[in-house]
Amino acid sequence: MLVRGFRILVLLFVATLQLAGCSGSSTGTVPERPNILFVIMDDVGIDQMPAFGYGGATPPNMPNIDTVAQAGLRFGNTWSMPECSPGRAAMFVGRYPLRTNIYQAIGENDLANSQITPDDMTTPKLLRAAGYESGLFGKFHLAGPENNAAGNGTPGLLGWDYFYGWVGGLPASIDTTAGGVAPQGTYPCGFVPPASRGGADSGACYLPDKTCQPLVAASPGQDAVGRQCMTRGGIFVPRAACQATPPASLDFGRANAYYVSPLVINSPAGVEVVPLTDRRARGYRTSIEVDAAINWIRQRNPSRPWMATVSLTGAHTPIQQPPSALTPRSSGTGDALGCTGLAEQRDLQNRMIEAMDTEVGRLLVETGLARRGPDGTLSYTPAASNTMVVIVGDNGTLGNMVKLPFNAQRAKGTAYQTGVWVPLIVSGPLVNQPDRSVDHMVNMVDVYQLFGEIAGIDVHASVPRVLDSAALLPYLRRADQPSVRSINFSQGGANIQRNGGRNGPCVIGGNTCSHIPINKGVCEDNGGVWWGSGATDPGVPNTPTGYQTCCQVNQALYKSGQPMIDIMPDTSTAMRNATHKVVRNTIQQYNPANDSCTVVPVSEFYAVDQNQPKPALDDADKNLLMQTLSAPLKAIYDDLTASLDRMLASQPPCVGDGNMDGVVDALDLDNWRTISQGWGLSSTYDLNHDGLTDSADRALLAGNTGACAKAYSLY
């Protein structure tokens, strides 16, 4: 259905798109500037990557991405942010979280103050000045749809000419009813398994158009018929014959992890929300993402350059079997694996990464950027195309999935190495002397600048914002390029919610409490027990009222005579140079003596490197502050600490500057008036963070008129 109603900003965007769609030459000539294919892997840290010399004892099979890596540059010392939304914001606006207020994965309770705004110079807006068209396919997770006037139109409002994917980003939980054919909890992987696993080898596959196909297991090498039906977008009724009318219990409106997803399309025609009952919203998510990108790229006018962002959901939780046709190098179909045991989940995540790699290979082949050799391997010659290929991970790997020797206890969600160290591959005609590694420090904000460099844009001269990005193009041109960066930075924390709220506590593994999962479903998808509002686990006292903080979890445990547990940092920041790293966390602590909760800052200091396959990591027992520092180490520590302090002070608060132009003036007042009268809810002019844009915010705005203290970059 089409989303209609009062969306002033979206309507303005659509008008802009219609004008932009008429621009560009129709001569059929090849564009002077290279096209850009940008591939984002979700929750795939460098620990997973054989191309970078890691991957542990059981690395995922990634021959297609390995081929691209061998044909280009492997940036083996790249930091992102600890979670997906701040990492992606860094990629697309070139700014650290302290400038965007996006510190963690955006959830349904996060206000517009912690979302990318229309005043940000996003990559598609930047490249439009150089004539580029931009499409984004798959996971968005930069703004909306909740607490945002644009709703599901946020991708278009932020500059993308075309969007086909998932605005909220995260897959839904696994539907253990398999579409309503069984009670909750019956099928942990979301489909009816084979008879050998308590399922069925025959039955009726009902499709969304109410037609039905009988399915019978044909050979041991095929997926279970229940999974075949799910892959086709259907609901499988085990051991049943097709009937003219589907059983009343079947629920085509129920989301199911990677196989039934709430698809959204932004185009010049408007914003379309595709219902779950539509065939387009049903099927394996990674394949849907790649199909959409292929279709869009094939339709581009060769006279105009394009940037296609293929933002793959894999291999984010929930962990679920991909179609075995996408995992030809893994043994068996995966039907014998459950979706709850840790060992099984680790195997399945490898398969999800393998499926993602298979689809990246298909993307390259079907868009003409590569071909298949006689033996089926990918043949990729970057100089033969006019397209730059950039492949990244958005943040480190989720703890339980981390490959040794990386630290599962200091993974995604923290600023430790395993949480922020990600792969970055750049290949294409601008790369001189391909098949080389770059060991110099790089940050994900630098990818923003790279896109500008590819398009011939000086971003620091063109963008009226403080940018944190450094140049990457020199590394492409020169194998002997010295390091551009002398320091690197990463930051995570809590987003802004109504009246100081935050995500509820989630206890993972029975011994660690975290505020990272955005809700109960995400907590449980990550193997956790939800202790927040609406808690249902019998081990949680005070259900369903629950608790607001992890400290309150420890308070409840202590008062019930149970051992207290570890608490993940509230905020986690890091600064490093070529050899050492400072980590500064703030951690909740419960003090039984006075029955109080406090937030305590903790600083740590480590020697780090990129040695393969066993790098020096920031493990707890390697903290150099546990000993007396030598004079040289003390000098390094003091310098990094001072750099971290300067970084955190580099964005002075400016209450009322909703459009980020460095001054609170009549334009801000006009913007406030437009938003308060036409929307009235969360916006960048909700200055007191109560979820409303109203007269209380106007009073704050009027009391802070004038120029702001100048923000600055350290680069």
Closest C-alpha among 590, 424, 485 to residue 68? 424
* pLDDT for position 333: 87
> Nearest 5°: phi and psi at 306?
-135, 160
pLDDT of 138 over the 70 cut: yes
Q: What is the DSSP letter of 100?
A: H
Rounded CA Rg of the chain: 25
pLDDT band of residue 10 (cuts 50, 70, 90) is very low
Helices (H) and strands (E) in the chain, counts: 18, 26
% of the chain with per-residue pLDDT over 90: 91
Q: Tokens 């600023």 map to which residue?
A: 415
pLDDT of 531 over the 90 cut: yes
Q: What is the DSSP letter of 114?
A: G
Q: Which residues face 194 on adjacent strands? A: none
Mean pLDDT value of segment 121-137:
98
546 vs 536: CA distance, rounded Å:
9
CA distances from 224 to 195, 211, 218, 622 (A): 9, 20, 10, 48
pLDDT band of residue 292 (cuts 50, 70, 90) is very high
- pLDDT tens, residue by residue, 412-466: 999 999 999 999 999 999 999 999 999 999 999 999 999 999 999 999 999 999 9
* pLDDT for position 20: 36
* pLDDT for position 219: 77
pLDDT of 266 over the 60 cut: yes
Between helix 342-366 and helix 285-298 the angle, nearest 10°, is 10
Closest C-alpha among 256, 234, 233 to residue 176? 256
Residue 222 one-letter amino acid: Q
* pLDDT for position 676: 97
> Nearest 5°: phi and psi at 469?
-80, 155
pLDDT band of residue 680 (cuts 50, 70, 90) is very high
The number of beta carbons lying within 10 Å of the beta carbon of residue 715 is 17
* Helix (H/G/I), strand (E/B), else coil: 504: coil
pLDDT of 493 over the 70 cut: yes
* pLDDT for position 54: 98
pLDDT averaged over every residue in the chain:
93
Between helix 666-678 and helix 695-702 the angle, nearest 10°, is 180
Contacts with 632 (C-beta within 8 Å, 6 or more apart), sequence order: none
Q: How many residues does the chain have?
A: 715
Q: Which residues face 204 on adjacent strands? A: 214, 237
* pLDDT for position 169: 83
Exposure of 293 in the CB half-sphere (CA atoms within 13 A) = 32
* pLDDT for position 290: 98
CA distances from 66 to 49, 377, 391, 703 (A): 9, 11, 11, 56
Contact between 105 and 85 (Cβ < 8 Å): yes
678 vs 654: CA distance, rounded Å:
24
% of the chain with per-residue pLDDT over 70: 96
* pLDDT for position 332: 84
Of 247-256, 264-273, 325-334, 608-617, minimum mean pLDDT range? 325-334
SS3 for 283-319 is: CCHHHHHHHHHHHHHHCCCCCCCEEEEEECCCCCCCC
* Helix (H/G/I), strand (E/B), else coil: 620: helix
Mean pLDDT value of segment 557-565:
95
Tokens standing for 521?
């479903």
The overall longest dimension of the chain from CA atoms, in Å, is: 82
Mean pLDDT value of segment 603-620:
98
Closest C-alpha among 123, 142, 100, 99 to residue 714? 99
Closest C-alpha among 632, 630, 706, 638 to residue 668? 706
* pLDDT for position 331: 84
Mean pLDDT value of segment 671-697:
97
Model confidence pTM above 0.75? yes
Closest C-alpha among 506, 443, 432 to residue 474? 432
**What is the distance of C-alpha 444 from the center of its chain?**
13
pLDDT band of residue 336 (cuts 50, 70, 90) is confident
* Helix (H/G/I), strand (E/B), else coil: 673: helix
* pLDDT for position 12: 35
Contact between 494 and 548 (Cβ < 8 Å): no
- pLDDT tens, residue by residue, 27-75: 334 457 999 999 999 999 999 999 999 999 999 999 999 999 999 999 9
* pLDDT for position 220: 76
Tokens standing for 41?
């892997």
474 vs 485: CA distance, rounded Å:
12
User: ω before 240 within 30° of 0 (cis)?
Assistant: no
**What is the distance of C-alpha 141 from the center of its chain?**
7
Please, what is the end-to-end C-alpha distance for the chain in angstroms? 47
Mean pLDDT value of segment 566-592:
97
User: ω before 188 within 30° of 0 (cis)?
Assistant: no
* pLDDT for position 22: 31
Mean pLDDT value of segment 641-651:
98
* pLDDT for position 9: 38
174 vs 177: CA distance, rounded Å:
9
- pLDDT tens, residue by residue, 347-395: 999 999 999 999 999 999 999 999 999 999 999 999 889 999 999 999 9
Phi-psi sector, 586: left (phi>0), alpha (psi -120 to 50), beta:
beta
* pLDDT for position 31: 53
* pLDDT for position 176: 97
* pLDDT for position 13: 36
* pLDDT for position 7: 38
Contacts with 557 (C-beta within 8 Å, 6 or more apart), sequence order: 563, 564, 565
CA distances from 707 to 295, 557, 660, 663 (A): 47, 49, 11, 4
Domains of the chain by start residue, with CATH: 8-20+38-172+257-491 (3.40.720.10), 498-567 (no CATH), 663-707 (no CATH)
* pLDDT for position 15: 34
pLDDT band of residue 313 (cuts 50, 70, 90) is very high
